[in-house]
Chains A and B, each alone.
Chain A
Amino acid sequence: SQQGEEDPQALSIQEGENATMNCSYKTSINNLQWYRQNSGRGLVHLILIRSNEREKHSGRLRVTLDTSKKSSSLLITASRAADTASYFCATRAVYNQGGKLIFGQGTELSVKP
């Protein structure tokens, strides 16, 4: 079964609005990562947050991590039409020896101009 589950499955907003996507996972993690996928393309790494971190920023992206609730959120501020894509969270579990990154099902974001 997949480690990460995203919510909502789809999100439609207007340009300039903020977009928030949530990810829940099941087991203890070493880190959690967020990726973007444009239609028909491979995934692009956006940001990584370690289990001992609670919040991280990168440009217009803000990621939070709550290990007690086993959840993370990705906030995209002042969204642009170019942010239209699918967004995936992925987790690296503590118990495995490495190399095993498990993805959620993704949130499809549509930003209307």
Chain B
Amino acid sequence: NAGVTQTPKFQVLKTGQSMTLQCAQDMNHEYMSWYRQDPGMGLRLIHYSVGAGITDQGEVPNGYNVSRSTTEDFPLRLLSAAPSQTSVYFCASSYNDGQGGYTFGSGTRLTVV
């Protein structure tokens, strides 16, 4: 099993550009989440999903969109990148609402200039 795969690992965007961060898992996990990690801020939840077709907002959803058309994939879209979105983004998945813990991807380091 590959676990949780995030692509790309690094990305530089110009202000105003849009892009999609990809996240895929091969563990048949129902629960998937996106977090951003900034120095001194810990991890903040952006969006999460409890199954295909079901998504909800987390703590910091503004400027981001998600969709969950399949169990395996949970892409995160930046609509119009801003310097404040410079961060490290982590995708995570869990089998049963975190009862066994979440499996994290290795992250995408995004810089918006």
Q: Are A103 and B35 neighbours in the complex by a CB distance under 8 Å?
A: yes
Shortest distance from the beta carbon of A24 to any chain B beta carbon, whole Å: 14
- Chain B 68-83, CB within 8 Å of chain A: the 1/0 string? 0000000000000000
Stretch from A42-50, A65-73, A75-83 that touches the partner: A42-50
Q: Are A2 and B44 neighbours in the complex by a CB distance under 8 Å?
A: yes
Shortest distance from the beta carbon of A107 to any chain B beta carbon, whole Å: 10
Q: Are B42 and A103 neighbours in the complex by a CB distance under 8 Å?
A: yes
Bound Cα distance from A58 to B44, whole angstroms: 27
Q: Are A103 and B107 neighbours in the complex by a CB distance under 8 Å?
A: no
- Cβ-defined partner of A2 (8 Å) among B31, B42, B97, B102: B42
**How many contacts A-B (CB < 8 Å)?**
76
- Cβ-defined partner of A97 (8 Å) among B44, B50, B90: B50
Shortest distance from the beta carbon of A106 to any chain B beta carbon, whole Å: 5
Q: How many residues of A contact B (CB 8 A)?
A: 24
The answer to the question of B2 belonging to the interface, with a C-beta cut-off of 8 Å to chain A, is no
Bound Cα distance from A101 to B90, whole angstroms: 13
- Cβ-defined partner of A98 (8 Å) among B40, B45, B97, B102: B97
- Chain A 77-113, CB within 8 Å of chain B: the 1/0 string? 0000000000010101000011111111110000000
The answer to the question of A31 belonging to the interface, with a C-beta cut-off of 8 Å to chain B, is yes
Shortest distance from the beta carbon of A49 to any chain B beta carbon, whole Å: 11
8 shortest interchain CB distances as A-B pairs:
A45-B101, A42-B104, A105-B42, A103-B43, A98-B97, A99-B50, A43-B104, A99-B48
What are 6 A-to-B residue pairs whose CB atoms are below 8 Å? A2-B44, A42-B106, A43-B102, A48-B101, A88-B43, A101-B33
Binding site for A on B (CB under 8 A): 4, 31, 33, 35, 40-45, 48-50, 56, 58-59, 90, 92, 94, 97-107
Given contacts A42-B104, A102-B59, 18 further A-B contacts (CB under 8 A): A33-B102, A35-B104, A42-B107, A43-B92, A43-B102, A44-B104, A45-B101, A45-B103, A46-B101, A48-B99, A48-B100, A98-B31, A99-B33, A99-B48, A100-B33, A101-B92, A101-B94, A105-B42
